[in-house]
A and B are shown apart, each in its own frame.
Chain A
């Protein structure tokens, strides 16, 4: 896949996302909104075509790939939590099933796995989870160049951060390891599983 094809591919992802929704993701992140105001222009993708996106529908594959994304973003390092130790992928899976998170977010997250993996297969003939670390980085940074891709990565990170620092009752932050690592003193009382937000 050459650069032009790559750009076209990502443009199709951009086109598949509702423009208002895309704006909403940016607006809802005040820090990012601030940076966006400072920057002059963003990567312009100007080569839209009409080919319908080929979405990856493999459900189990999807979670394997998400798990690989998570571990790339929060990798294993000595004496620090990583995506596996905090149960990041299982946490995201729960979030998708619970109420409270916008349905558009859920769909966007799941669809995005297909787009990411599609790019990985077209560029490197491998599913994303089979790539080595350097190649994963190349693919993710390529994805980041499109608005939809950047939004998707930003959302994935938001829920990864939730998994790191939420109350352990939600399944992430196992044994409070995210809190201990960052010397965060949680408040009290903390919720029991019957008092999680969607049970209130």
Chain B
């Protein structure tokens, strides 16, 4: 049987936020780049505000029948002092760990609130010391080394915002964001007033969403359906809209959608020789390149490396010291909500409150670091405010159960539905704090469960550290005070150790020592000359903000390293 080989200077596996900057930079620099994306290729012309497509059918993610994850969750303490783990596949639980498998990856579906890390995030161990049962380490690079790339991402991805100095403001090489803030909702000024009264400093949230047309992309059109939905104007700074489209224009980039990589082949020296993938009709194809880049999002990147054994890498690439897949990170914290009843507002304010489209764009970082009696001086986190997600079907579906767990139907269901939808605007908040790296959160391969191509699926243990809950609760209590000050009713919040599958990093931490890390400081696999990992996998600790801006920035940084090597 003849095998078709494709050749390129650089082969990139994945096309999301971790891949986009490398694809963009190397294509612009004149190198031949070949991109393999497992999912299909949607453009602005295929993104609609359609709740069925977005959120109720498997359109942008695989059918769980075909591809699933196996999750190991806490199931009480064991007799030996450790924990028991309950093993459930996501097909059984319906708790999906896919986040967007298509060109541009999950960056198509983010809501785009973007924060940089702080300088201290790069040296948490030095700043705050060890935490028992957590694997906190300093990064091998400093904030200063990443800053120019944060700036580059700001410019090329297109981040809208306004710098408002505050006590934990990270240093910036430019004065302000390249684009003014996106339009803001009426409720934003109410948050500001409440924060002023509480002596908190409300901050405008930077967004990776264009507030004016630029770089051949349209401005945001303010439909009010942003997170979970693909952007039809091109304003959202997905890797696809902001970077890959421009890379394709150079003529140096070839993108193959529906191409599922299942094996990275290494040679007798341990370097990558080929990548093997199934094309759209499930035929096996092979690629040869000088340099290979993997960015499939943290869980799948670890899975691919674990699956890719070779004579120099008998336990998978980068796993000779059994570090691969370890110290997986999610984002800790929780969320809360408060309700504003329209009938308690005057008519004009009620109408303003109902407005759909503009962003809330407010966050708090007053407690990014804090000190109190119980915890001492610790790393805290970020609070972000947002309106309730506008999806109607999922909201109505939760109305069908009464408080006793019985189904409601008939006129009583209709009445409850109508009152739920028409009485209140709900202001929510989300808390982001560090998901401490521990030995109980990692990726391995499941020996029994296979995907539709017959490859072992990723098994993910999702244990968390109790410290995360204490910090999350501290922050959620602060956020509740803002809602209370605003006059919201039915205020409640929850902080838990449930991992948010869309905020995932780690598994291939970078570091100076091969015995304790998978990647070197340039994000090259320690004992492989030509393999780089550029998604969020490299992060040894997560920071207390969404990861995407840092992933973009780091990928721009690695692109400069690869340019020198080519």
Contacts and interface: CB of A to CB of B under 8 A. Distances in A.
Interface residues of B, number: 49
A185 B390 contact: yes
B56 A162 contact: yes
Given A80-B414, A162-B393, A200 B42 contact: yes
Most buried by B among A27, A35, A161: A161
B421 A24 contact: no
Interface in B389-418: 390, 392-393, 396-398, 400-401, 403-407, 409-411, 413-414, 417-418
Contacts of B393: 161-162, 165-166
Contact of A166 (B51, B414, B421): B51
A86 B507 CA distance: 49
Nearest to B53: A197
B221 interface: yes
B349 interface: no
A76 B16 CA distance: 48
Contacts of B59: 100, 197, 200
Given A150-B407, A157-B409, A191 B50 contact: yes
A187 B53 contact: no
Contact of A161 (B232, B396, B422): B396
Interface in A52-84: 72-75, 77, 80
B95 A161 contact: no
B94 A144 contact: no
Interface in A138-174: 140, 144, 150, 153-154, 157-158, 161-162, 164-167, 170
A-B interface, 10 closest residue pairs, ranked by CB to CB distance from nearest: A187-B49, A28-B94, A187-B225, A35-B405, A197-B53, A182-B421, A73-B409, A191-B48, A187-B223, A31-B398
Contact of B418 (A39, A150, A182): A182
B406 to A, nearest CB: 7
Nearest to B413: A73
Interface of B: 40, 42, 46, 48-53, 56-59, 65, 91-95, 221, 223-225, 229, 232, 354, 356, 390, 392-393, 396-398, 400-401, 403-407, 409-411, 413-414, 417-418, 421-422
Contacts of B392: 165, 178-179, 182, 184
Contacts of B223: 187-188
Contacts of B93: 24, 27-28
A74 B413 contact: yes
Given A27-B92, A162-B56, A184-B421, A189 B397 contact: no
Given A184-B392, A189-B232, A200 B46 contact: yes
A157 B409 CA distance: 8
B397 A161 contact: yes
A157 B48 CA distance: 25
B397 A24 contact: no
Contacts of A80: 414, 418
13 contacts: A27-B92, A27-B95, A35-B403, A73-B410, A161-B400, A164-B396, A170-B52, A182-B417, A187-B229, A189-B232, A191-B48, A191-B50, A200-B59
Most buried by B among A28, A36, A74, A184: A184
Contact of A195 (B48, B221, B417): B48
A4 B405 CA distance: 24
A23 interface: yes
Contact of B401 (A27, A35, A190, A196): A35
Given A167-B51, A195-B50, 17 more contacts: A30-B398, A31-B401, A35-B401, A73-B409, A74-B413, A80-B414, A80-B418, A161-B396, A161-B397, A165-B393, A167-B48, A183-B354, A185-B224, A185-B390, A195-B48, A200-B42, A200-B53
B57 A101 contact: yes
A61 B50 CA distance: 32
